Amino acid sequence: MNKAIIYIPNKNPMQSGFAKNNKWVLEFKTKDPTRNPLMGWESSSDTLTELKLEFSSKELAINYAKKKKIDFELIEPKKRKVVKKSYADNFLK
């Protein structure tokens, strides 16, 4: 049976904002990864690992996985703690 992970990917470190950070991704786990003895690369004959499906909400991703009978693991995003600072705080210490 196929196993998948449903998560929100991290933003690119080169981005400063949070726009376009609300897509949920369904990504399949690798079955039986093998190691190339010459180069040391990891490979697999499973082509589902190359597939990443994007969904606009968590519920859509879960419903898709249930409809296709895919075992999945849901990884909830951690909430960020926003600390409001002002420019004047640099000079008060």
Which domains are present in the chain?
A: 3-11+21-32+44-90 (3.30.160.190)
In the predicted model, what is the mean pLDDT of residues 44-57? 87
The model's pTM: 0.72
pLDDT digits (tens, 9 = 90+) for 9-47: 888 778 777 776 789 999 998 777 788 888 888 877 778
Task: Give the whole-angstrom CA distance, residue 31 versus residue 45.
Answer: 8
Q: Closest Cα partner for 26 from 93, 86, 58? A: 58
Burial code of 72-85, b = ≥16 C-beta within 10 A, e = fewer?
beeeeeeeeeeeee
93 or 88, higher pLDDT: 88
Task: Give the whole-angstrom CA distance, residue 23 versus residue 37.
Answer: 37
Task: Give the whole-angstrom CA distance, residue 26 versus residue 56.
Answer: 11
Percentage of residues of the chain with pLDDT beyond 70: 97
